[in-house]
Structures are given as structure tokens and as C-alpha cells.
Amino acid sequence: MCLGLVGQVAGLVEDRPDVALVDIAGVRRPVNVGLLDAPPTGGTWVLVHMGFALQTLTDDEAAESLKTLDSYSAEAAWTP
């Protein structure tokens, strides 16, 4: 099973138009955006897999995906 994570673009990396800093769960990491049709702007939601942005998402799609991931996290919580 493959898992894509939802992140929000914080900005492009200077001198690297194919790399953006993306905030995923509060952690900013460099993500290759070369697979997208156009470079994303700050605030754009993207689906990230293995360090590559695969597609952009609308605000509603991102919110739904984040809600679903949160529900999985709550179900998987382990208590002794």
C-alpha cells in the first residue's frame, strides 16, 4: 500500500525552481514539484509521496484527506 501525505507549500527553494518547502504535519521539508503542471505558489496544498508532489489539491480535498488521516490515527492509537 502506498501512502500520500497532504502538505501545504510554504514557498519555493531559491535557485531550485523544481523544489518547494512543504509543511507536512508541522514539519517543513523539501519536496520535488517537477511532476506538477506548473510550479505551486505558497499556500497551495499538494499530495506528496516519496519526496515528490504528485498533484495539487483544493482546500476541500486537503481538509477531507487530513480529517481521514486523523481518524486513522485515532483508531490506531495504542493504549496498554
Which amino acid is located at 35 in the chain?
A: L
Model confidence at 77: pLDDT above 70: no
Domain ranges (residues) in the chain: 5-76
Encode pLDDT of 18-36 as tens digits: 999 999 999 999 999 999 9
Write the class of the CATH domain 5-76. mainly beta
The predicted pLDDT at position 47 comes to 97
Q: How far is CA 3 from CA 6, 9, 38, in A?
A: 10, 19, 23
**For the residues 51-69, what does the mean pLDDT come to?**
94
Model confidence at 75: pLDDT above 70: no
More confident residue, 58 or 71: 58
